[in-house]
Structure 1
């Protein structure tokens, strides 16, 4: 168990209007920091006032991109409890990412303790309005002042918090998606399955192109044949065709999402046919032309469930379910958010109370 030192902020920030929350632009009063030194391990866990991080210009993170991050949320229930949703999966994925990019493993129980501790200190920042939550961003960066190419010997693990509203301004309304054919995000053998910034940097060019054309997000195809669907920029993706719900299988180039896993479990328990397998963009459009495509939706921590109303592939526009929210997407959203906020019984033991 960590012995976390706590230094409280002497001046607290004004809380934002919960009706005006965006995503990721407001930060709470405190942050968690823990250092790693080779030969000593992870040391000096502490909660301090939210502050700038001072690093040498030669810090390795700036030059070789050795960093990882995670994202999860805390929710306030009607009985004023604060719940985390499946945090153990995010922490396990932290170590999966760490292993791939040569960051030292973390003690998963210690990280859960740290998350609980920082949320408890800033619990007054957890909003209570429907659709709002406290976004939790743990991340690790390499801090050695060294310009040689090797894994670092020094790191910082930090956790910052941000009260948030809906990730997409459209909310639960169906979004428009651009199918990217020029650029690729990841390939098998790379870091596509890891939660590291390189994946997101590689996606920005296509994201900018999609935004300029009026689309909310990018749907990525595989990096080799450019034909098999992989994931949306910030979400895993599901397609309901002929009653079967299909999502791309985890083969090393897409992120194993926590919400994705939750959706698969729910669908199976609802006796719905759900498959993890390859699906080509050609077959998707053929299913639409033949009237067999029923729903498309994305899944992720930020948006939870995001229905897709339109896809554009090389100018061929595909309208899904008349641009309306489908019944499966609606049921999944209501169920998962109900569990997260404590209004639906958590029969899966997915939630963790912060004050336990």
Structure 2
């Protein structure tokens, strides 16, 4: 980070008031090249613009790439805060290892990102819950059609304004004929191939009037993720105990930063059981029938905490309990927002 070269844009863009997620980008970006002989090159912050890639680039042909997603918030005190960014750096490092892409110094990358935020800090919204989304990306740029570990790579970071990812409660379509991830695969890494392969199923979900797919796994229809979200059930379990449950990190689940934060918060409260356990559609349907389900919700950096209102499963439309201001997801969302905006002191925030 101390070696950063900064080239400032001479033509700054107009900042719109309201934008769709991921469509309007800030004035600058960070790029760092790597090759096997010389290692990481000097990091560069330059005006936002297109990349120049060889047509045989390994990222384009074999999906040798990964990305991260984190946000910077403007607090009530006007200071800028990142939320648990070291967890993103750690996850990105593990994804890089799995993709055979080069290792990097996590603290140095975070320092480079901090400088990029400082330069484009006027893009961080001043009012409301909106924030600035940060997308670190690492791609193999090997100019060869051979399937092999790349000898060249590019790490870059772009940023965009981010409002609400979903505006209403979610409806999910659950069908085991499509699988998002499997044990031994890359479902626990943040790689583009995990997402591009879901589009076909999401289109089918739309034909059933649903916004996202509830991904199932195995013969017992285990609940894994919902769209791009981790899934939580707040219920009275089979033993009659109040419980917050989410599927375990068995290689098929992305270790979400918001997921971990929800678990940490709930365990700190110590008001009910908090478990990482396998959950099946059969268990969910039984809980619905016996009126043991309090709420089902999803979590993620983009969507934050999102209530799930219905699920289409085996030709039935399952109506889930309604969300209210006293629901667990509302309480969690409020507490996380207070931390992210500096209203509640926490060591989870990283001042820019």
TM-score, L = length of structure 2: 0.96
The corresponding residue for 2:174 is: 179
In 2: Cα distance, 1:23 partner to 1:326 partner: 28
SS state at 1:78 partner? coil
In 2: Cα distance, 1:101 partner to 1:211 partner: 32
Q: CA offsets, 1:102-155, max 9 Å, x none?
A: 011110011111110111110000002222000000001111210111011000
Q: 1:143 to 1:226 in 2, by over 3 A?
A: farther
The corresponding residue for 1:280 is: 280
The corresponding residue for 1:125 is: 123
Q: Please, which of 53, 57, 69 is the counterpart of residue 67 of structure 2?
A: 69
The corresponding residue for 2:239 is: none
The corresponding residue for 1:241 is: 235
CA contact (8 A) 2:54 2:143 kept: yes
CA contact (8 A) 2:131 2:162 kept: yes
In 2: Cα distance, 1:217 partner to 1:273 partner: 28
CA contact (8 A) 1:238 1:297 kept: yes
Q: CA deviation at 1:240?
A: 1.2
The corresponding residue for 1:55 is: 53
The corresponding residue for 1:252 is: 251
Q: Are 1:230 and 2:224 an aligned pair? A: yes
CA contact (8 A) 1:309 1:321 kept: yes
Q: CA deviation at 1:78?
A: 1.8
Q: CA RMSD in A?
A: 1.2
Q: CA deviation at 1:248?
A: 0.3
1:102-121 equivalence runs, <5 A: 102-121=100-119
Q: 1:326 to 1:205 in 2, by over 3 A?
A: farther
Q: CA deviation at 1:245?
A: 0.9
In 1: Cα distance, 2:151 partner to 2:31 partner: 17
In 2: Cα distance, 1:52 partner to 1:295 partner: 44
In 2: Cα distance, 1:305 partner to 1:326 partner: 14
Q: CA deviation at 1:44?
A: 1.7
The corresponding residue for 1:303 is: 303
In 2: Cα distance, 1:221 partner to 1:344 partner: 37
The corresponding residue for 1:216 is: 211
In 2: Cα distance, 1:270 partner to 1:36 partner: 45
Which 10-residue stretch deviates more, 325-334 or 28-37? 325-334
1:13-32 equivalence runs, <5 A: 13-17=13-17, 20-32=18-30
Q: Are 1:194 and 2:189 an aligned pair? A: yes
CA contact (8 A) 2:220 2:280 kept: no
In 1: Cα distance, 2:309 partner to 2:106 partner: 39
Q: CA offsets, 1:132-180, max 9 Å, x none?
A: 000000001111210111011000000000011101132xxx2111113
SS state at 2:41 partner? strand
SS state at 2:89 partner? helix
CA contact (8 A) 1:178 1:210 kept: yes
Q: CA deviation at 1:326?
A: 5.8
The corresponding residue for 1:314 is: 314
Q: CA deviation at 1:61?
A: 1.1
Q: CA deviation at 1:325?
A: 6.3
Q: CA offsets, 1:248-300, max 9 Å, x none?
A: 01100110000000000100111121110101111110110011111001011
The corresponding residue for 2:35 is: 37
TM-score, L = length of structure 1: 0.95
In 2: Cα distance, 1:279 partner to 1:137 partner: 31
Q: CA deviation at 1:2?
A: 3.7
CA contact (8 A) 2:59 2:140 kept: yes
SS state at 1:158 partner? strand
In 2: Cα distance, 1:323 partner to 1:329 partner: 8
